[in-house]
Every structure is written in structure tokens, then in C-alpha cells.
Amino acid sequence: MDDGDKTEPAAPAAVTEAGPAIPRQRGPELFVEPPPSGPDRETLLERRPDLFVPGQPPAPATESVFAPPAGSGFAPPAPSEESVFAAPVPGAESASAPPAPATGVPAAEAGLESSPALTEPSTEPFGGRGPAMFAPAQGLPPVSAPPGLPAPGVAPIYWPAGVAPAVAAPPARRRRRWPVVSGVLVAAVLVLALVVWIAAQGPSGQRVALPAKAIPGRSGAAAAAAPPSNAEPTVGDKILATLTKQSKALLAGDQAGYLAGVGAGLQDGYNRRFGSLRAMGVRVWTPTLVDKPTQNADGTWSVLVRHDYCFGEGCVQQFPQVVQTSWTVAGDQATVAKYEQSSEPWDASALQTVVGRRVIVAGSGANASKLQRVATKADAAADVADRYSKWGPPPKWYIVYVAGEGEWKTWWDNGDIGASYDGYSTGPRGIVMQAADAGQTFLQVLLTHEFGHVVTVGEDYGTAEDWWMTEGIADYIADRDGTTTKGRLPDVRKFVKNGWDGKITMGPPPQNAPGWEIDARYGIALLAMTCLAKKYTEPKMLDFFGDVVRKNDSLEIASSTVLGTDWAGVETSCAQQVRNS
């Protein structure tokens, strides 16, 4: 789709009562309506501290003290004013780094281990309203999902003359329920000083305060008070030295060097981690000590370790992984005695990969045969999503994890997402899809929807009041021929007939909502965003979305400044199109 297509969309596809199968997805959020409170909120914070919870901003750095969970075997750290240690950043572009995969080149031949061969991407048409790539219409499956379900496409509806009442004085800006900067590293970080402190995921769901970026040497006050070069190295220095050697060995593909300094009983985990990270094409792996090592009763030293990483040649955006560790120190040598297992897919499973033009697709050996088809569809999905990356460059690589049944329940601690869902997004970190869907006709729609979340909202999903726009725009991006719209229309009509109040500004489905109602809400969100694109042009629809969801303007202000009319008239007009669909 070129720019001309955006401003003058092609005629919508014809609509029939029967609809095709559509994927059941979940967006990058863990938001439910109404917002969780009490024990539910605490459980959510423990499970996913890297994602914001409405009304619960990240804890300030001065209050973020890591306390290991009971029974973990780790002693809590003593209070300390000492600044974060940081290792020198190993060269991401060093000659020893894994070679970049070429388009259509098997990942194994390009230096990414344990990867099935990659063939050329499919030439299957996608992106216009020409020959459909989808299977013939079939019965719509039951759908049940919290926020994140897809419903892409340009709705096949007709538009009467627009209503443009007089513009009333715009109200004050609405208040966001949580800060714009998300709880994990985001594509744009507000730099207020040398170090910007953000929240990142700690061990066992704890919350810790971390610097936005690892800095060579010591940071802050410790840098000014650094001891002379001939000073006796501290325990932290020795631990950091081992971590730095392991990092350099990992990037160089030196497995023996990576295992140096690893204690007895940990080799299997380190071997698995090495293989998965190399298969993912790791280009940056920068260690940092988050706190000061504290000595345990048995003489070992406990310290929280953070690694900043990114995958794929030319990767820019880095993400933090934080784990609790324990060390033995003898002379100048620090050896890992305990290393907490995290739930990141590459840390929890032995992964193989297929690398496409724009995607890295990973899965365990049991799903290796499915990765090639997913990569082909994902490359096509990336081409579509890239065109909607209006607010910044698209990610260098879209990352897709193909999860088996057990992995679906454990990766990223997302056991709360049931088996009835097909996919969910964690923002630029990657999306997760069920392995069972690798052969489905709607695979490309599923992937495009999730990539749509990556380019439009990233990791800052927005508020409950933004839900209809956040999901609607991802669905709009994903369906270029109206197939999913066709599938949702029967449930939309049922919802309208059962007493819909005419408000297109719908929040996420209630947790106990039946599948047809969930599907209807997603359908209305899609139809609403399609209405804005058809009536005011796609560029203005995107600007309107950006002002409301990303800039936090009210609907009234954004409608006045972008659409040139008052919101009440816009909603009335689009609601009528929903009723007429």
C-alpha cells in the first residue's frame, strides 16, 4: 500500500453473513476492566512488573529494594549507597560477533546455530484488495480474550455525507492513568539526566530500579570516588570481571569461555542459554551489577545481575534481563554458584531459529518444522506493519516465538493466558504465538495484528478508555481485504440488536463476557477505526490515534485539531455506520 492508497482507499470487499476463521489474540497488556485492585493488583505486579498496571506507576528508584522470595536461598542485600557497577560494553559490531544472515540464507549457514533452512519468502499477494490469500469463508470460531484480540481490515461499509456541527471549546487534557514511559526499556526514553531510572523485571516478579542504559565503568557518585587503579579489587569487581569475560565469549561464539567461571551443576543451563542466545543472533550482551554484593552465611555472595541485550544484525533497541545470582570468590576468581532461571523464552528453552528478511522466528526443537512457514508469513506481515510505523522507525527485527503447550503457559510467566488464545505481544521484545496455529490460514493476519501493536503502541498500551483505538488500529492494519470484518459482522449485529448504547469508545471486554460479545466489541472497534479512515482519510485517522493514545489528548481536542469537527458528531456518524453494517 503506497501513500496514495492511504488517502484514497480502494472499494471495500463485499460482505456476506458467513465469516472466516479469525485468530484470537491478546495485545501487549495485562489490563482488565475494571482495573484490578487489592490482591489482584499485587498478583499482577508480581507476575509482570515489566508492564504497567493502570493507576500503579513504577516505584521510584529510591524505594526499589530487592528482597529475594522466601525459601529462595538468597539473602537480602544490605542497604548501600554504592552506585551500580557496569561492565564495559562489549563491541556489538566486533568481528567475533555472529555473522549476519543474508536474505533467504539458512540461519545455520549464517552463523546462527540449530536453525532450519530458510527459503525465499512467499510471493503470495497481501496488502491490497485483489485476490484474497485467505481460505473460503467458514464458521467463525468461539473467541474469548482479554484485550488484544484481532479484528483487522477496512470495513465494507458505505458512508453518507459527513456531519460537521459547530466546534465547541475543547476541554482540558485528560489525565493518563499511568506514565507514558513504560516499565521496560522503550523505544523513546525521556532523558532527564545522565541516567534515567526505569523499572525492570527482577527475580520472581520483584520490582527493581535500574539505570536506563549500562554505562562503562562505575556511574554516578562512585565514578568520582573511584579508587586508584592499584587498589585491591572488590568482590563486585571480581564478579563483574567474570561476567564480562562470559559476555565476550558469548558474542565470539566461544562456548568454553562462556562456561568458564560456572560452578558445578550449572553447566546444563549455561549450555542451553548459550545455544539459544547464539541461535537468536545475539549482538549485545552487557552485564551490570544492580546492587552491592552481600555475603551469605555460607560464605557465598548474592547480587542482582542485569544483562542488556538485543538480537539480530544492526539491532539498536536493547532490553534488560534481571536475575538473582550467588557467587563463590577465591582470590581474584569469582565463580557462579546459583543462577536464577528466568522465563524469557531464550532462557527457559533450547531454541532453534529461522531468520527472514525482517523477522527472527524461534521455537524449541519440537516445533522446528513449523518455523519456516511462520517466517515466510511473518516477513509479509512485517512489510504491512512497517508502513504504519508513523511515530518512529520500525524495529530492525520483529521477533516471533512459537510456543508449544507447556511453553505457552510458562514463557514470560504468562500462565494467565489460556489455551484458547492464539497470540499476544510484549512489544518490541517479541510476540508469542501458539505452535498449533502455524498451519492456520489466518496466520498472517495474526502476525500482522501483533506487529501492528509493535509499531503503533510498542510497550505503552494506553488506558482502558483507549482500548477501542489500540485494538481497532491493530486490526485495521492486519486485514487489508475485509476478511476479518466479514467474520465479525454477525456478532456485531447481534450486539447492536441486544441493546448497544451507540458508543464506539468501548473498553475491553469484561472478564466473564461470552465469546460472541468479545468478538462483537473487537468488531465495533475495527469498524470505528475504519469509519475514521474512510470519512477523514487514513493519514488523519493515524494522526487522530497518535494524538489520543500517544500524546494523551482528549477525544474532543484531537477531533477538533485533526478532524476539524467536534467529537460528538464524529461518534454519531460512525455509530450509524456500525448500525448499518
What is the 3-class SS of 377-409, one letter each residue?
HHHHHHHHHHCCCCCCCCCCCEEEEEECHHHHH
Please give the distance of CA 107 from its chain centroid, rounded to a whole number. Answer: 23
The answer to whether position 188 is within a domain reads no
> How many Cβ atoms sit within 10 Å of the Cβ of residue 295?
13
| One domain, residues 315 and 389 | no
Residue 355 clears pLDDT 60, i.e. is over it: yes
**Residue 64: CA count within 13 A, CB half-sphere:** 22
Label residue 88 by pLDDT band (50, 70, 90). Answer: very low
- Residue 22: predicted pLDDT: 64
For range 135-159, the mean pLDDT: 30
CATH code of residue 82: 3.10.450
**175 domain-assigned:** no
As a whole number, the mean pLDDT across the chain is 71
Instruction: Locate all alpha helices (DSSP H) within 280-364, ordered by sequence.
Output: 345-348
Domain termination site, one of 348, 364, 384: 348
Q: What CA–CA distance (Å, rounded) separates 449 from 148?
A: 9
Is the same domain home to 307 and 254? Answer: yes
The verdict on residue 147 lying in a domain is yes
b/e string for 552-564 if b means 16 or more Cβ within 10 A? bbbbbbbbbebbe
Rounded Cα–Cα distance for residues 375 and 447 (Å):
10
The answer to whether residue 569 sits within a structural domain is yes
Tell whether 135 and 72 lie within a shared domain.
Answer: no
Output the pTM of the full model.
0.66
Would residue 197 count as lying in a domain? no
For 558-580, what is each residue's pLDDT tens digit?
999 999 999 999 999 999 999 99
3-state secondary structure 423-473: EEEECECCEEEEHHHCCCCCHHHHHHHHHHHHHHCCCCCCCHHHHHHHHHH
Does one domain contain both 373 and 478? yes
What would the grid cell of residue 328 be?
563463590
Same domain for 280 and 254, yes or no, is yes
Same-domain status, 479 and 385: yes
What percent of the chain has pLDDT above 90?
A: 49
* pLDDT (tens digit per residue) in 199-243: 344 433 333 344 333 323 333 334 334 555 678 999 999 999 999
Q: Distance between CA 552 and CA 80 in Å, rounded?
A: 38
Single out the residue in 348, 365, 384 at which a domain terminates.
348
Same domain, 239 and 310: yes
Cβ neighbours for 1, distance < 8 A, ≥ 6 positions apart: 127, 128, 384, 387, 480
Q: Which three cell numbers stand for residue 392?
A: 518512529
294, amino acid identity: T
**Separation between Cα atoms, residue 195 and residue 233, nearest integer Å:** 25
Is 192 within a domain? Answer: no
Domain's final residue, options 320, 348, 376? 348
Whether residue 394 has pLDDT greater than 80: yes
Given a cut of 70, is residue 371 above it in pLDDT? yes
For residues 280 and 400, is the Cβ–Cβ distance under 8 A?
no
- Print the domain residue range for 71: 67-102+108-114+213-348
When pLDDT is averaged across residues 487-506 and rounded to a whole number, the result is 94
On whether both 413 and 550 belong to a single domain, the answer is: yes
Whether 571 contacts 503, CB under 8 Å: yes
> Does residue 319 share a domain with residue 255?
yes
What is the rounded CA–CA span in Å between residue 485 and residue 533? Answer: 15
Tell me, what CATH number does 35's domain have?
1.10.390
Dihedral over alpha carbons 112, 113, 119, 122 (to 10 degrees): -70
Same-domain pairing of 365 and 332: no
- Total count of domains within the chain: 2
Q: Are residues 380 and 435 in the same domain?
A: yes
| 120 domain-assigned | no
Please give the pLDDT value at position 87.
39
pLDDT at residue number 290:
96
Q: Pick the range with the lowest mean pLDDT from 62-66, 276-280, 312-316.
A: 62-66
Same domain, 412 and 376: yes
Whether 76 maps to a domain, the answer reads: yes
Give which of 348, 443, 354 is closest to 404, Cα–Cα: 348
Contact 143, 519 (CB under 8 A): yes
Q: Higher confidence at residue 478 or residue 168?
A: 478
Q: How confident is the model at residue 70 (pLDDT cuts 50, 70, 90)?
A: low
